[in-house]
A and B are shown apart, each in its own frame.
Chain A
Amino acid sequence: MSSSSPKKRDTQKLSDKKELWKSIKDYNGDNEVIKLKHDEFLEGVTEKFDSENLSGISRRKFLALLSASAALTATACTDYHDKGEIIPYNKRPEEVLPGIANYYASTCNGCDQSCGILIKTREGRPIKVDGNPDHPINRGKICAKGQASILNLYDPERLRHPLTRRKQISWKSADNEIISSLNNAQNSNKEIAIITNSVTSPTTKKILEDFVFKYPSTKIYTRSLVNDEQRKSAWSESYGTMEYPSVKFELAKIILSLDADFLGNEGSYIENMRKYAAKRTVVGKTDFNRLYVAEGRMSATGMMADYRLRISPNQQLEFVYGLINELIKTGSVITSDSTVRAKVGSHSLAKFGEKEKISSLIRDLYNNRGQAIVYAGDTLPKEVHIAVNLLNELLGNTALYDYSSTFKSILEQSSDEEISKLVDSMNSEKIGVVIHFDCNPVYSLPEDYGYKSALKKIKTVISLTEAENESSSEGNYTLPINHPFESWGDAYVRSGVYSLQQPVIEPIYNSRQKESILLTWISGNAESYREDSYHQYLMNNFNSTIYSKKNTFADAKTFWYSALHDGVVLFDKPVVQSKFNSTALVDSRATDNVNGYTVHLTESYFVADGKFANNGWLQEIPHPVSKVTWDNYASISPKLAKQFDVEMNDLIEISVNNKKLILPVLVQPGVHDSAINIELGYGRTVVGDVGKNVGLNAVTLMSKNYSSSPFIYDGASVKKVGGTHKLATTQEHHAIDDTFVKDIHRTRKIIQEGTVEKYKKEPGFLHKEKTELFGITSEHEYTGNKWAMAIDLNKCTSCSVCVSACNVENNIPVVGKDQVERGREMQWMRIDRYYSGTPDDPIVSSQPMLCQHCDNAPCENVCPVNATNHSPDGLNQMVYNRCVGTRYCSNNCPYKVRRYNFYNFRDHFADAYYENNLTSLVHNPEVTVRSRGVMEKCTFCVQRIMEARSNAIRDGKELKGTDVVTACQVACPTTAITFGDANDPDSEIAKLREHNLSYHVLEELNVKPNVTYIAKLRNTRSEEIL
Chain B
Amino acid sequence: MSMIDYTRELSVLEGKPSLRELDELISKPLETKPNKKFYIALSITLSMMGLLVIGLGLTFYYGIGMWGNNVPVGWAFDIVNFVFWVGIGHAGTLISAILFLFRQKWRTGIARFAEGMTIFAVMTAGLFPLIHVGRPWLAGYLFPYPNQHSLWVNFTSPLLWDVFAVSTYFTVSLIFWYVGLIPDFATLREKTNHKFKKIIYSVFSLGWRFSNRHWQNYEMVYLILAGFATPLVLSVHTIVSFDFAVSIIPGWHTTIFPPYFVAGAVFSGFAMVQNVLIIIRKIFNYEHIITLDTLEKMNKVILLTGSMVGYGYAMEFFIAWYSGVEAESFTFLNRALGPYAWAYWIMITCNVVSPQLFWFKKIRRAIPVMFIIAVFINVGMWFERFVIIVTSLSRDFLPSSWAYYKPTLVDGMILIGSFGFFFTWILLFTKALPVVSMAEVKAVADGAQPSHKEHS
Contact = CB atoms under 8 A, between A and B. Distances in A.
Interface of A: 731-732, 734, 740-741, 744-745, 747-748, 750, 819, 822-825, 830, 832-834, 847, 849, 858, 861-866, 882-888, 890-892, 894-896, 898-904, 908, 931-935, 1001-1002, 1005, 1007
A933 B64 contact: yes
Contacts of A931: 135
Nearest to B149: A882
Nearest to A832: B400
A716 to B, nearest CB: 33
A885 to B, nearest CB: 2
A830 B163 CA distance: 35
Interface in B248-279: 248-249
Nearest to B401: A896
A865 B141 contact: yes
A896 B65 contact: no
Interface string B24-63: 0000000000000000000000000000000000000011
Contact of A862 (B62, B247, B326): B247
B153 A866 contact: yes
Contacts of B397: 748, 750, 894-896, 1002, 1005
Contacts of A834: 399-400
Contact of B139 (A823, A847, A884, A891): A884
A27 to B, nearest CB: 53
A885 B64 contact: yes
Interface of B: 62-65, 68-75, 132-136, 138-139, 141-142, 151-154, 156-160, 163, 243, 246-249, 326-327, 330, 333-334, 337-338, 393, 396-404
Contacts of B398: 745, 750, 832, 849, 894-896, 1001-1002
A732 B63 contact: no
Nearest to B247: A892
**Residue from A744, A887, A898 having most chain B Cβ neighbours under 10 A:** A887
A1007 to B, nearest CB: 8
A887 B248 contact: no
A824 B65 contact: yes
B65 A908 contact: yes
Contacts of A882: 141, 151
A908 B62 contact: yes
Nearest to A1005: B248
Given A895-B397, A896-B398, A903 B65 contact: yes
A627 B193 CA distance: 75
B162 to A, nearest CB: 8
A900 B74 contact: yes
A890 B141 contact: no
> Which 3 A-B pairs rank lowest in CB-CB distance, beginning with the nearest?
A885-B134, A933-B134, A823-B70
Contact of A901 (B63, B73, B132, B158): B63
Contact of A932 (B134, B160, B163, B338): B134
Given A891-B75, A894-B398, A858 B247 contact: yes
Contact of B399 (A741, A825, A887, A891): A741
Contact of A732 (B243, B246, B403): B403
A903 B71 contact: no
Contacts of B399: 732, 734, 741, 744-745, 750, 834
A861 B397 CA distance: 19
A887 B157 contact: no
Contacts, number: 174
Nearest to A1002: B397
B63 A902 contact: yes
19 contacts: A734-B399, A740-B337, A744-B330, A822-B68, A823-B71, A832-B400, A832-B401, A834-B399, A847-B400, A849-B400, A858-B247, A883-B134, A886-B134, A888-B157, A890-B74, A894-B249, A895-B401, A908-B63, A1005-B397
Nearest to B162: A864
A727 to B, nearest CB: 14
Contacts of A862: 156-159, 246-247
Contact of A934 (B72, B135, B246): B135
B159 A902 contact: no
A822 to B, nearest CB: 5
A894 B337 contact: no
Contact of B400 (A833, A885, A898, A908): A833
A861 B157 contact: yes
A824 B70 contact: yes
A891 B154 contact: no
A990 to B, nearest CB: 27
A819 B403 CA distance: 13
**Residue from B132, B135, B243 having most chain A Cβ neighbours under 10 A:** B135
Given A861-B154, A933-B135, A934-B134, 5 more contacts: A740-B334, A862-B246, A882-B151, A892-B248, A903-B62
A73 to B, nearest CB: 22
A744 B132 CA distance: 32
B388 to A, nearest CB: 12
Contacts of A896: 71-72, 396-398, 401
A896 B74 CA distance: 10
Contact of A819 (B65, B157, B333): B65
A886 B138 CA distance: 11
A329 B407 CA distance: 65
A445 B158 CA distance: 62
A825 B70 CA distance: 9
Nearest to A1006: B248
Contacts of A887: 64, 69, 74-75, 132, 134
A300 B158 CA distance: 44
B134 A900 contact: yes
**Residue from B74, B135, B247 having most chain A Cβ neighbours under 10 A:** B74
A823 B400 CA distance: 12
A964 to B, nearest CB: 27
B159 to A, nearest CB: 4
Contacts of B326: 747-748
**Residue from B64, B151, B246 having most chain A Cβ neighbours under 10 A:** B64
B249 A891 contact: yes
A95 B159 CA distance: 51
Nearest to A892: B247
B62 A866 contact: no
B152 A866 contact: yes
Contacts of A863: 154, 157, 159
B330 A864 contact: no
Nearest to B158: A862
Nearest to A856: B248
Given A824-B65, A864-B154, A858 B402 contact: no
**Residue from B62, B68, B152 having most chain A Cβ neighbours under 10 A:** B62
